Amino acid sequence: MTLECIGQKAKEAEPILRVMTREEKDRVLLKAAELLVSEQEKILASNEKDMEAGQERGMKPGLLDRLKLTEDRIAGMAEGLRQIADLPDPVGEVMKDWVPENGLHIRQVRVPLGVIGIIYEARPNVTADAFGLCFKTGNPVVLRGGSDAIHSNQAITEVLQQALIACGCPESAIQLLTDTSRETAAAFMKLNRYIDVLIPRGSAGLIATVVNNSTIPVIETGSGNCHIYVDETADLEMAVNIVYNAKTQRIGVCNACESLVVNRKVKNAFLPLLAKKLQEKQVELRGDEAAREAVPMTAATEEDWGTEYLDYILSVKTVDNVEEAIAHINRYNTGHSEAIITENQEHAEKFLKEVDAAAVYVNASTRFTDGFEFGFGAEIGISTQKLHARGPMGLVALTSYKYEITGHGQVRG
């Protein structure tokens, strides 16, 4: 099918999804969950094809693991859809309701965003997850997954379409680009006539490609060069626990801590304690001169301050005060998650107000920047841009609004 045709079919589904009730949408999600499990043989067989091809091409073990589906993982995908069905539907919510001087009755009402394009890598679970979130909010979705997962994605998409058809819904509520060439991806990113929003999910490289090539509005997600600042008034034991958690609990995630900023007054007391704890996970420290006086470590270069390691490495910067910490963080961060460990209320307030990031923490781990932890019940990604949605994006981030206005013959004077 040509892109033009895929775009048209998505647009045809749009008005139908737009007016579906919550009950109608939930029925599809539950049916899809049921079918993912009952049709799992087919999905697993398709995944096996992708796995074999991956192994032949010498895909790395980490990537192969992300690609692999098992009964448990399919059960997890089904459970994800059931959880989305349980969430309230934001569409139709009246956000505001007022009568300005002209006497018109204006209601600001939540509506679906439109047709959503998702570009992602070889993670077949994203296929079901992205469909669930987009469908719950009344948005047709066009998926462009990695070519390594094409058979898995096709099998999952077919099962989801079966659920749509069984419930009398247009199957084009979900479509998958089966042509995974770069040319088609490039054309997809310029399909403004049919796609309202593009959300890339994956590595920094993928996201940069989409931002640089798309003419469709993009929601940028992902990269996190997150800092923790240990103030001179910090509870040092708390600081050790939080840095250890934020650095080592999961190293490959965007809300992991990549850089420690430490106040000069406590560096000699704090850094040896921290270094000892981080030794448990063999974390490599790279510090400035002042940090190296407190604990032996590699010298940090300018490049370290701006690097998201996604590895057992932590950079260490020494500062004289909270102002210098804020300036350093605002210079090198990626607008994701930043924390201060302090017992000083004034420093806490200053840090909260002046650090420019989606999530700013006092005395807690940066790892909490997550749709589930925030209580959103679901997450389509974590936005690092300021337009539309910032930070963890739940269902509401997949909606827009319209103004419904009722008059009695008013004309403008």
Q: For residue 198, what is the enclosing H or E element? A: strand 197-201
Please report how close the Cβ of residue 235 comes to its own copies at its closest, in angstroms. 7
Could you tell me the two tokens for 402?
Answer: 């319209």
Q: For residue 186, what is the enclosing H or E element? A: helix 182-188
Site stretch for its own copies (CB under 8 A), options 81-89, 103-111, 179-187, 278-286: 103-111
Separation of alpha carbons 320 and 338, rounded Å: 18
Separation of alpha carbons 352 and 349, rounded Å: 5
303 makes contact with its own copies (CB under 8 A): no
User: Quick one: 70 or 192, whose CB is closer to its own copies?
Assistant: 192
User: Quick one: 147 or 233, whose CB is closer to its own copies?
Assistant: 233
CB atoms within 10 A of CB 221: 24
Footprint of its own copies on 216-255 (CB under 8 A): 217-220, 235, 238, 241-242, 244-246, 249
Please report how close the Cβ of residue 404 comes to its own copies at its closest, in angstroms. 4
Among 65, 212, 280, 289, binds its own copies (CB under 8 A): 212
Footprint of its own copies on 23-82 (CB under 8 A): none
Please report how close the Cβ of residue 219 comes to its own copies at its closest, in angstroms. 7
User: Quick one: 178 or 330, whose CB is closer to its own copies?
Assistant: 330
User: Quick one: 60 or 408, whose CB is closer to its own copies?
Assistant: 408
**Which residue do the tokens 């940066």 mark?**
366
User: Quick one: 261 or 297, whose CB is closer to its own copies?
Assistant: 261
Q: Burial level of 253, CB count in 10 A (0-12/13-18/19+)?
A: middle
411 makes contact with its own copies (CB under 8 A): yes
157 makes contact with its own copies (CB under 8 A): no
Torsion angle, CA of 92/95/99/103, rounded to 10 degrees?
-30
Please report how close the Cβ of residue 83 comes to its own copies at its closest, in angstroms. 15
User: Quick one: 212 or 282, whose CB is closer to its own copies?
Assistant: 212
Among 89, 129, 148, 196, binds its own copies (CB under 8 A): 196
4 makes contact with its own copies (CB under 8 A): no
Crossing angle for the helix pair 150-166 and 40-56, nearest 10 degrees?
A: 160
Count of residues that bind its own copies according to CB under 8 A: 71
133 makes contact with its own copies (CB under 8 A): no
Strand 391-393 relative to strand 337-341: parallel, antiparallel, unpaired?
Answer: unpaired
Footprint of its own copies on 364-393 (CB under 8 A): 364-365, 367-369, 373-375, 385-388, 390-391
Strand 141-144 relative to strand 174-176: parallel, antiparallel, unpaired?
Answer: parallel
205 makes contact with its own copies (CB under 8 A): no
3-state secondary structure of 372: coil
106 makes contact with its own copies (CB under 8 A): yes
What is the biggest distance separating any 2 CA atoms in the chain, rounded to whole angstroms?
Answer: 78
Could you tell me the two tokens for 396?
Answer: 């509401």
Separation of alpha carbons 307 and 373, rounded Å: 26
CB atoms within 10 A of CB 10: 27
280 makes contact with its own copies (CB under 8 A): no
Please report how close the Cβ of residue 10 comes to its own copies at its closest, in angstroms. 14
